[in-house]
Structure 1
Amino acid sequence: MQHDEVIWQVIRHKHCSFMSKISTGIFCRNPYNVTGICNRSSCPLANSRYATIRDHDGVFYLYMKTIERAHKPNDLWERVKLPRNYEKALELIDKHLMYWPKLLVHKIKQRLTKMTQMRIRMRKLALKTREKIMTTPRKEKKREARREEKAEKAAVLDKAIEKELLARLENGIYDGIYNLPFNKFLQTLDTDELQAEDEIEEESEVEYVEGNFELEEEDDIEDLVQS
């Protein structure tokens, strides 16, 4: 047979796994606790007649426990879905808890009010556009830094090898046909053609200068007179 006072005397002396004692007070972690405070009137284990409100995915339910179902743990709690309208939910609570203790009914209504206010605030915050702060784990940062360093070293090495091979190819060290990348081959041909055109332009460049014809004619006349 269940005796509420005996249960409370047993669990009140730090024998309850739901008790959380901190500097500001003693609280209860039981999800069925209507106030969240560890005391005789709010304890769902030490009260054979108890009721509370719980939230399931945004839907509020009224949970009720009576001593007649104490021998059936699977059917211990009876729940009723509350409407989203606050006033209708209060009317439904008054209907189902008509002959229950007034203090417990008052606590249940306070819990419904707090949960309704919290749901309204959550909805307002969800509608606001806020910047999301994305954090990167330290291990991932180090891994990305190592990959970047390896990629830079590989790129420098590839460029050095490419320059060396092109220099050897231009100097005629390699005789015969080699399977070089076609894009690099065209790029090399383009650079060779540009260099050849520059050399031709330098060789065939013609300059025009201003001549002093009067001085040349005077010199010729003087030579004729002296002869």
Structure 2
Amino acid sequence: MQHDEVIWQTIRHNHCSFMAKIVTGNFCRNPYNVTGICNRSSCPLANSRYATIRDHEGVFFLYIKTIERAHRPNDLWEKIKLPRNYEKAMEIIDKHMQYWPKFLVHKIKQRLTKMTQYRIRMRKLQLKVREKTLTLPRKETKREPRREKKAEKAALFDNKIEKELLERLNKTVYGEIYNYPQTEYLEVIDKKEKEMKELRGTVEEEEDLEIEYVEGDFEDNDDMEDFGGPVIDKDLIDDSDDEDVDNEDFAQDDSIGKKVRSKGKRNVIIEVEHESNTGRKHKVQKMFGGDE
């Protein structure tokens, strides 16, 4: 059977793991202590009949310990939930602790009052907007600038390497066969294509500006004679088409509709070709003109 006086003498004079000695006095760190002071009436271990109030995430519970459950440590404390209303919570405490010592009932009610007060204060502080002081780790503040500098140097170094390789490629230093990474190869090709498109666009604009349209001149008909077939001057044609002309006076030419000049006269000869099964025959029609 549990003996409260023996437990208290052992804890008080020998050793207690919950006792904290301070200049102002001795305090108890046990979560079931009502007052937080290390004394005979407030010790939860040295009192077989004891009660207290605890907070679980903003909800208050009344814990009651009786000597009938001392042989069952798992069921030693009876847990009763208290409402959020202060007056109703007081009524429940009076109902369950009707025949308990008045000192203990008074301490429990006093504890409930303090807990409701700091719960109200916590709500008000949560509604207020306050500045938060955040500490910056010294190692991270020094490490980040160093990493940024290293990254900048690496980027500049990569750009220099790329330029140097492109210059060597243009100079054909490595020959004709190359093995490049595909991503860098595609980037270079895209840049070259963009440059070519820009050059083409500028050249087309310049050509469009240089083109001009001029009115045609048709006064000289000499150039058009080659396209219209044989040209015959009506003034040179004479009615005596049936007269014979010596072959010596004419020089036969292979071209069609060519003007031939004789010794004393200007004539026009038209040569027409006819094809047959036996071969090709030539028929010459002569037209005479006047003296030069």
TM-score, length-normalised on structure 2? 0.58
1:18-70 per-position Cα deviation (integer Å, ceiling 9, x unaligned): 11122332211111001111111110001111100011222111111122222
**Percent identity of paired positions between Structure 1 and Structure 2:** 73
> What is the letter of the counterpart of residue 126 of structure 1?
Q
Distance verdict in 2 for CA 1:100–1:21, change over 3 Å: same
The residue that corresponds to 1:104 in the other structure is 104
Unaligned 5+ segments in structure 2 are: 200-292
Q: How far did residue 182 of structure 1 move?
A: 2.7
The match for 2:39 is 39
**Offset of 1:96 from its aligned partner?**
1.1
Return closer, same or farther for 1:177/1:193 CA change in 2, 3 Å cut-off.
Answer: farther
- Show structure 1 runs of 5+ residues with no match: 196-227
Indicate yes or no: 2:165 matched with 1:165.
yes
Indicate the SS of the match to 1:52: strand
CA distance in 2, matches of 1:65, 1:121: 30
Report the CA distance between 1:104 and its aligned residue.
Answer: 1.0
Partner of 1:209: none
Q: Name whichever of 119-128 and 98-107 sits farther off.
A: 119-128
Q: Which structure shows the bigger proportion of residues in helix conformation?
A: 1
- Bigger relative contact order, structure 1 or 2 (CA pairs below 8 A, ≥6 apart): 1
Q: Which amino acid aligns with 1:71?
A: H
Return the offset for 1:119.
Answer: 1.6
Q: CA deviation at 1:8?
A: 0.9
* Residue in structure 1 matched with residue 7 of structure 2 by the alignment: 7
The 5-angstrom pairing of residues 39-58 of structure 1 reads 39-58=39-58
Helix, strand or coil at the partner of 1:36:
coil
Shift of 1:83: 0.8
Q: State whether structure 2 residue 180 is matched by structure 1 residue 185.
A: no
- Give the corresponding residue for 1:85: 85
Shift of 1:191: 6.1
Secondary structure at 1:27 match in 2: strand
More off after superposition, 92-101 vs 166-175? 166-175
Give the CA deviation at 1:86: 0.5
Q: Structure 1's 188 and 169: CA in aligned 2 closer, same or farther, altered over 3 A? A: farther
1:19 maps to 19
How far apart in 1 are the matches of 2:153 and 2:173?
A: 27
Whichever residue aligns with residue 187 of structure 2, its letter is: N
User: 1: distance between equivalents of 2:15 and 2:104?
Assistant: 25
2:231 alignment counterpart:
none
| Residues 185-194 or 101-110, more deviating | 185-194
Instruction: Please name the residue that 1:121 is paired with.
Output: 121
Q: Distance in 1 between matches of 2:76 and 2:119?
A: 28
Alpha-carbon distance change, 148 to 13 in structure 1, aligned in 2, over 3 angstroms: farther
Letter in 2 for 1:183: E
Q: Distance in 2 between matches of 1:124 and 1:14?
A: 45
Could you say which residue in structure 2 is the equivalent of 1:156? 156
- Report how far residue 93 of structure 1 moved: 0.6
Q: Secondary structure at the residue paired with 1:176?
A: coil
Q: Secondary structure at the match of 2:114?
A: helix
Query: What are the residue-to-residue correspondences of 1:196-215 with 2, within 5 Å?
Result: none
Looking at structure 2, the residues matched to 170 and 132 of structure 1 have their Cα atoms a distance apart, in angstroms, of 60
Q: Which has the higher strand share?
A: 2
62-71 or 85-94, larger mean C-alpha shift: 62-71
Q: Tell me the number of residue pairs that the alignment of Structure 1 and Structure 2 aligns.
A: 198
How far residue 135 of structure 1 moved from its aligned partner, in angstroms, is: 4.7
Q: Report the AA paired with residue 107 of structure 1.
A: K
**Structure number with bigger Rg:** 2
The separation in 2 between residues aligned to 1:194 and 1:175, in whole angstroms, is 29
Alpha-carbon distance in 2 for matches of 1:109, 1:191: 87
TM-score relative to the length of structure 1: 0.73
The CA distance in 1 between the partners of 2:166 and 2:132, in whole Å, is 51
State how far apart, in whole Å, the 1-side matches of 2:171 and 2:197 are.
16
